[in-house]
């Protein structure tokens, strides 16, 4: 649960991972403080946008000093919910599932891969990122016995909705959806779509502009 | 080049691939016409949003009839630039590059995979989606000899900018960027970012709300 109660706009929310990334980089480079102007120039924003964004979470800067990189990073980490751990499963152990399973970053930020599921007999039983791929027949039992917070959906479009309904019925509350369809889920479930084809089409559009 | 000249907002542009997807589905199901109300309910928008969106491209509907699915799909296909073909290369033949190379959809929409490049000796020489992976040493020559429109960047963060500079110097104008960093490119180059970690963090944020 977040420590602030104000409703924050999705535009700001969408920028938070970027703040987190830049602040993590700064910390790695042993930079301890940064002004809103410097941070703005790094991130391609204006200083006033930076101040406004961070104010909407309570404001972490000090007049004439700027931001303490470590503190601001910790604050944003907490706001992003990355001070907690999340148990996750990947559904669909094809190329995309494989790619995601091997994202070092996920584990480093506390998103722990507990299981990978597939229906392909050639994939079931193989090992992906130290996890043995299980058959979808076992998923109900598995979700019931492990506290799964996040499911990463890498299944074909045709079965996306069926799988989403199945796992949300079992109590999964978060879906990172790589299947190219809009999922219909209960209102207490959050879905974040990564639609690669849509991104490609935005690019072909922009190329013609 | 697009046949309209009005500046269209990015919000509308970002919705176009979704229109295209839904209209393609309708066509596959032999549905020939649809009202803005029906299309709105399918897409989770309001009828007035639909009319406004499509009007910004010249308006394809007819009062009391609705939209001709096939015609509207063709119009949006053209707006998205999908009536042309694009030569593309994938840089980075790891799991993510592999996943993208095997996206059937890309080829179906005229985005043709011409080459895959990597530096890993274990990957160079292997075949991904019918393409033999070449070493990065060969990329300059390859881009010069083939008209490459789009590069799909699946390289580690550390080398993302170096590679982007190299390929844009060679004339590549479109980048679909899976490397988790903001690229600095000339103003006539378009970049569309797919930042999977950012999407995960948005999800963990929303889970805490």
Pick from B25, B72, B34: nearest CA to B53:
B72
Q: Is residue B186 part of a domain?
A: yes
- Note whether B71 and B90 are same-domain residues: no
pLDDT at B1: 42
Interchain proximity B202–A13, CB inside 8 Å: yes
Interchain proximity B198–A99, CB inside 8 Å: no
- Identify which has the larger pLDDT, A61 or B132: B132
A19, A27, A67, B180, B208 from A73: Cα distances, Å = 8, 8, 10, 18, 18
* Distance in Å, alpha carbon of A24 to nearest chain B alpha carbon: 13
- Note whether A104 and A169 are same-domain residues: yes
Instruction: Provide mean pLDDT across the span B85-107.
Output: 93
- Identify which has the larger pLDDT, B63 or A126: A126
Full domain range(s) for residue A160: 86-199
Q: Is residue B120 part of a domain?
A: yes
Residue of A nearest to B205 (CA): A80
- SS3 for A79? helix
* Distance in Å, alpha carbon of A204 to nearest chain B alpha carbon: 6
Phi-psi label, residue B92: left if phi above 0, alpha if psi -120 to 50, beta otherwise: left
pLDDT at B78: 92
Residue of B nearest to A96 (CA): B99
Instruction: Provide mean pLDDT across the span B190-204.
Output: 95
- Note whether B125 and B72 are same-domain residues: no
Within 13 Å, how many C-alpha atoms sit on residue A19's CB side?
A: 31
**CA-to-CA distance for B105 and B24, rounded, in angstroms?**
12
- CB A188 within 8 Å of CB B156: no
pLDDT tens, residue by residue, B21-54: 999 999 999 999 999 899 999 888 998 998 888 8
- Note whether B90 and B65 are same-domain residues: no
pLDDT at A64: 72
Instruction: Provide mean pLDDT across the span A112-129.
Output: 96
- SS3 for B104? helix
Alpha carbon A61 to its chain centroid, in Å, reads 26
As a whole number of Å, the end-to-end CA separation of chain A is 43
Contacts of A12 in chain B (CB under 8 A): none
**Angle of helix A36-43 versus helix A47-55 axis, rounded to 10:** 110
pLDDT at B204: 96
Interchain proximity B198–A18, CB inside 8 Å: yes
pLDDT tens, residue by residue, B142-164: 999 999 999 999 999 899 999 99
Instruction: Provide mean pLDDT across the span A104-119.
Output: 94
Interchain proximity B204–A13, CB inside 8 Å: no
pLDDT at A114: 97
- Note whether B18 and B93 are same-domain residues: no
- Give the residue from B79, B98, B127 where a domain finishes: B79
pLDDT at A5 over 60: no
pLDDT tens, residue by residue, A164-206: 999 999 999 999 999 988 999 999 999 999 999 999 999 999 9
**Strand partners for B205:** none
Q: Is residue A3 part of a domain?
A: no
- Note whether A39 and A127 are same-domain residues: no
pLDDT tens, residue by residue, A47-56: 899 888 888 7
- CB A177 within 8 Å of CB A192: yes
Mean pLDDT, chain A, integer:
91
Q: Is residue A72 part of a domain?
A: yes
Nearest to A98 among B95, B109, B111 (CB): B95
Contacts of A13 in chain B (CB under 8 A): 202, 205-206
pLDDT tens, residue by residue, A55-85: 877 666 677 778 899 999 999 999 999 999 9
Mean pLDDT, chain B, integer:
91
CATH number, domain of A20, equals 1.10.10.10
**CA-to-CA distance for A124 and A97, rounded, in angstroms?**
13
Binding-site annotation, residues of A for NAD(+): 92-97
- Note whether A32 and A122 are same-domain residues: no
pLDDT at B18: 92
């Amino acid at each position: 649960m977040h420590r602030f109660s104000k409703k924050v706009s999705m535009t700001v929310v969408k920028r938070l991972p970027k703040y987190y990334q830049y602040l993590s980089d700064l910390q790695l480079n042993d930079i301890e403080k940064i002004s809103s102007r410097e941070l703005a120039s790094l991130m391609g924003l204006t200083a006033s946008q930076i101040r406004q964004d961070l104010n909407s979470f309570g404001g972490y800067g000090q007049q004439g000093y700027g931001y303490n990189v470590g503190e601001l990073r910790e604050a944003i980490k907490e706001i992003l919910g990355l001070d907690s751990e999340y148990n996750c499963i990947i559904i669909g152990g094809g190329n995309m599932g494989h790619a995601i399973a091997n994202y070092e970053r996920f584990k480093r930020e506390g998103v722990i891969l507990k299981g990978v599921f597939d229906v392909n007999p050639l994939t079931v039983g193989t090992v992906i990122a130290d996890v043995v791929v299980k058959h979808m027949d076992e998923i109900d039992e598995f979700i019931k016995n492990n506290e799964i917070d996040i499911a990463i959906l890498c299944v074909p479009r045709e079965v996306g909705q069926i799988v989403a309904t199945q796992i949300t019925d079992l109590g999964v509350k978060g879906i990172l959806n790589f299947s190219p369809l809009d999922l219909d889920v209960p209102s207490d479930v959050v879905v974040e779509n990564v639609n690669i084809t849509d991104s490609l089409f935005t690019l072909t559009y922009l190329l013609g502009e």
